[in-house]
Amino acid sequence: MKLTDAIAVTPSSDSPRILLIRPSALGDVLRTVPVVASLKRAFPRSTIDWVVQEGFEDAVRGNQTINEIIPFPRNALGGWRYWTHEKRRTVSHLKRKLWRQYDLAIDMQGLGRSGFMLFTTRAERRIGFANASEFAWLGANERYEVPRDLHAVTQMLTLLESSGIKPIEDMSLVVPKDSEADWLRVKSIMGVPDSFVVFAPTSRWKSKEWPAEYWQALAGKVLTMGANHIVLLGAPSESARLHAIAQRMPLAISVLAGEATVGVSMAAVRDAQLLVANDSAMLHAAVGFNTPLVGLFGPTDPNISGPFKRLDETIRSEEAKASSAHYRDRSLGDELMRTIPVEMVTERLHGRL
CATH code of residue 289: 3.40.50.2000
Residues 174-217 pLDDT 10s: 999 999 999 999 999 999 999 999 999 999 999 999 999 999 99
Q: Say if 56 falls within a structural domain.
A: yes
- Whether the bond between 25 and the residue before it is cis, its omega within 30 degrees of 0, is yes
> Are 155 and 198 within one domain?
no
If phi over 0 gives left and psi between -120 and 50 gives alpha, with beta otherwise, what is residue 135?
Answer: left
Burial of 124 (0-12, 13-18, 19+ CB in 10 A): middle
Rounded-to-10 torsion of CA 150, 153, 157, 158: 10
Q: Say if 172 falls within a structural domain.
A: no
Q: Say if 57 falls within a structural domain.
A: yes
Comparing 93 with 153, the larger pLDDT belongs to 153
pLDDT of 6 above 70? no
pLDDT of 230 above 60? yes
Average pLDDT over residues 67-76: 86
> Are 271 and 191 within one domain?
yes
> Are 235 and 107 within one domain?
no
Residue 148 lies in domain: 17-162
Cβ atoms 130, 143 nearer than 8 A? yes
Look at the chain and report how many structural domains it folds into.
2
Neighbours of 74 (CB within 10 A): 14
* Lowest-pLDDT range of 67-71, 82-86, 158-162, 247-251: 82-86
> Are 138 and 278 within one domain?
no
Q: Say if 61 falls within a structural domain.
A: yes
Last residue of a domain, one of 122, 139, 162: 162
**Spatial separation of the C-alpha atoms in residues 153 and 166, rounded to whole Å:** 14
> Are 184 and 285 within one domain?
yes
Task: Judge if pTM exceeds 0.85.
Answer: yes
Residues 8-36 pLDDT 10s: 445 566 799 999 999 999 999 999 999 99
Cα end-to-end span (Å), the chain:
48
DSSP H/E element including 223:
helix 212-223
> Are 257 and 132 within one domain?
no
Residue 259's nearest CA partner among 278, 291, 232, 280 is 232
Rounded-to-10 torsion of CA 291, 293, 299, 302: 60
